[in-house]
Amino acid sequence: MLTYALRRILGMVPTLLLISVVCFVVIRLQPGSFIDQYLEDPRVTRETVELVTRQLGLDQPAYVQYLTWIKGIVTEGDFGYSFVNGRPVSSLIWERLGWTVFLAVLTLLVSWAIAIPLGIYTALNRYGPGATILNFFGYVSLATPDFLVALLLIALVLNFGGTNVGGLFSPQFIDAPWSLAKFLDLLNHLWIPMIAIGLEGVAGLMRQMRASMLDVINQDYVRTARAKGLAANRVLWRHAVRNAVNPLISLAGLSLPSLISGTIIASIVLNLPTIGPFLYDSLLNKDQYVAMTLLLFSALLLLVGNLLADLALAWADPRIRFE
């Protein structure tokens, strides 16, 4: 298993290189450049534009820019400078990583905790009124974009005279030290992003779990287990669910990159201090090293997620072997 994992990790290197080339090309293909925003200001002369272009290394051929960047990463772990912020990219990402991971992990946990039982319930009571209602809500929330849910929730809160519209804290708590009041304030704000971002995930996972469960409970071995007189609960949890959950483990692996790019619009609408809007800004401003680092990071998360999912599958299902 260790050699398998190592082989997979080594295999990531060429993949990532290829992805970084593609990202770089795509970013370069966008019309305009970072310097454009400077032109609008009458203070900026052609001389300044040329000097800034040189300062940023944008006067060099594209392949030189790319190779310099890659070299920095490999030799010094330096992901380049942000043109916009004039600071190393890594420190900027680090600043925003905490809340991003917190929100992503929390959303994942909450949506799994709700979705799995609902999926099982709707599969077992396929034609019951409860399942029908849940399915209906599932469809609706799948079809509603997360930012729209966010806007509706904000409107609702405003109508009831609330002040927790967006952000993670009330203004006075943002830079206050941690206290019980700050924690309660966080909870008071957190439920809106949880619903807005998590709802779509819950609906999707629930449908997935239901479908996979329906597959499994009609299998011969489940019928055999029942026929042998095994307790209904034991059949369900030990045999059915354990087999049905496999596709969801793969799915969880694939959801790791959403840490970065999953909730850009909802984060902007809800004013969350996460990485998504940062990526969006860097793409708009053609802040190429920030955009490339984030896209590369996202690709890495996808590959790592896949690997983790495969390892988890092997652990969960003894039938799977590393070949």
Partner 1 sequence: MPTRSPLPRLCGLAGLVTLALCSGALAAPKKVTGYGSLGITNGKPGGTYTLALGDSPQSLFYYGVIDNNLGLISQQLFDGLVEFNYATYKVEPALAESWTISPDGRTYTFRLRQGVKWSDGQAFDADDVVFTYSQIIMNPEARAGDAASFKLDGKQVEVRKVNANTVRFVLPRPSPAFLLQMRSFIMPKHKLLRYSQEGGAKPADINTAWPSNVREADVVGTGPFRLSNYTAGQKVTLTRNPNYWKVDARGTKLPYLAGLEFLIIRDPQAQVAQFLAGNIDQLNISGAQFPDLKQREVAGAPFKVFRSTALFGSPPFVAYNFDAKNAALARVFSDVRFRRAMQSALNRERIIDTVYNGLASAPGHGIAPVNREWYANTTRQLGSFNLAAAGQALDALGLRDTNRDGIRNLPGGGNLEFDLTYGTDSSVYPAIATILQSDFARIGVKVNLRGILSSRLLSTGQSGDWEMILHAFGDQPDPELRKPIWQPGGALYYWHRSLQPAQDGGRPNLTRMASWEREIYNIFEDAAVTTSASRRKALYTRWQLLFAQNLPVTPIAKPENIGAVSNKFGNYIYNLGVIPGYNPVPLIYQK
Question: Under the rule (CB under 8 A), what is the footprint of partner 1?
Answer: 31-32, 36-48, 51-52, 55, 84-87, 91, 95-96, 151, 154-155, 157-158, 162-171, 174-175, 268-271, 273, 277-278, 281, 284
Comparing CB distances to partner 1, the nearer of 166 and 247 is 166
Taking residue 234's Cβ as centre, other Cβ atoms within 10 Å add up to: 11
- Greatest Cα pair distance in the chain: 86
- Whether the Cβ atoms of residue 81 and residue 293 lie closer than 8 Å to each other: no
- C-beta of 258: minimal distance to partner 1 in Å? 19
- C-beta of 221: minimal distance to partner 1 in Å? 52
List the alpha helices (DSSP H) in the chain: 2-29, 36-39, 46-55, 62-76, 89-124, 129-143, 146-159, 171-174, 180-217, 220-227, 232-234, 242-244, 246-254, 258-261, 264-270, 275-285, 288-316
Comparing CB distances to partner 1, the nearer of 194 and 251 is 194
- C-beta of 157: minimal distance to partner 1 in Å? 8
- C-beta of 58: minimal distance to partner 1 in Å? 13
- C-beta of 53: minimal distance to partner 1 in Å? 11
Comparing CB distances to partner 1, the nearer of 47 and 76 is 47
- Give the per-residue SS3 of 168-208: CCCHHHHCCCCCHHHHHHHHHHHHHHHHHHHHHHHHHHHHH
Q: What are phi and psi of 81, to 5 degrees?
A: -105, 150
Comparing CB distances to partner 1, the nearer of 61 and 171 is 171
What secondary structure does DSSP assign to 268-319, as a single string? HHHT--SHHHHHHHHHHHT-HHHHHHHHHHHHHHHHHHHHHHHHHHHHH-TT
Comparing CB distances to partner 1, the nearer of 147 and 235 is 147
Comparing CB distances to partner 1, the nearer of 36 and 59 is 36
- Whether the Cβ atoms of residue 84 and residue 290 lie closer than 8 Å to each other: yes
Closest CA to 281 of 117, 85, 38: 85
- C-beta of 67: minimal distance to partner 1 in Å? 22
Residue 260 C-beta-side C-alpha neighbours within 13 Å: 22
Place of tokens 């790019």: 261
- The type of residue at 297 is F
Comparing CB distances to partner 1, the nearer of 85 and 250 is 85
Place of tokens 């290829």: 18
Comparing CB distances to partner 1, the nearer of 65 and 246 is 65
- C-beta of 270: minimal distance to partner 1 in Å? 7
- C-beta of 166: minimal distance to partner 1 in Å? 5
The residues that bridge with 81 in the sheet, in sequence order, are 88
